[in-house]
Amino acid sequence: AQSVSQHNHHVILSEAASLELGCNYSYGGTVNLFWYVQYPGQHLQLLLKYFSGDPLVKGIKGFEAEFIKSKFSFNLRKPSVQWSDTAEYFCAVKEGGGADGLTFGKGTHLIIQP
C-alpha cells in the first residue's frame, strides 16, 4: 500500500518569502504525483501533477514541484509567496497507469502574513 508523508503540518511565512513544502511517498512502482490546494471555504484544486517526463513540473499560480525518484520525493516550491497563497496544501499519489483513487498526505496549512 502507498503512503504519503507531508512533514510540515503548519507553515507561517511572510509575503515574498520562498516556499518549499516537503512530500515523500512510499511505493516502489510507477507513480503519478499531485499537489492540490484548498483555499478557505473552497474545494480542492489541482496545482500541478507529474505522470512522466521532465521531473520538474510547473503548475498554476507560479508553483512548481520536482520529482526525485531516488528520494521518493515530490516537493512543492514557489520562489515568492503572496498573501493569497494562504491555504491547505495536499500532496497525493496513485499507482501509474490505473484509474485508482488517490492516497493523500495529511496536508500542510500555510499561512502568509502580509
Partner 1 sequence: GAVVSQHPSRVICKSGTSVKIECRSLDFQATTMFWYRQFPKQSLMLMATSNEGSKATYEQGVEKDKFLINHASLTLSTLTVTSAHPEDSSFYICSALSVAGGGTQYFGPGTRLLVL
Listed ranges 14-22, 58-66, 72-80, 94-102: which one lies at the site for partner 1 (CB under 8 A) = 94-102
Residue in 47, 90, 110, 112 binding partner 1, rule: CB under 8 A: 90
- The least CB distance from residue 63 to partner 1, in Å, is 15
Q: Does the footprint of partner 1 cover residue 17 (CB under 8 A)?
A: no
Q: Does the footprint of partner 1 cover residue 104 (CB under 8 A)?
A: yes
Closest CA to 49 of 71, 29, 62, 64: 64
Beta strands in the chain (DSSP E): 3-5, 10-14, 19-21, 24-26, 31-38, 45-50, 56-58, 64-68, 73-78, 87-95, 103-104, 108-113
Q: Does the footprint of partner 1 cover residue 102 (CB under 8 A)?
A: yes
Instruction: Indicate the residue among 40 and 114 with the shorter CB distance to partner 1.
Output: 40
Q: Does the footprint of partner 1 cover residue 5 (CB under 8 A)?
A: no
Residue in 46, 56, 60, 68 binding partner 1, rule: CB under 8 A: 46
d(CA 16, CA 75): 19
Q: Does the footprint of partner 1 cover residue 72 (CB under 8 A)?
A: no
N-to-C CA span, the chain:
41
Residue in the structure block whose three cell numbers are 502507498? 2
Residues that bind partner 1 (CB under 8 A): 32, 34, 36, 42-46, 49, 51, 90, 99-107
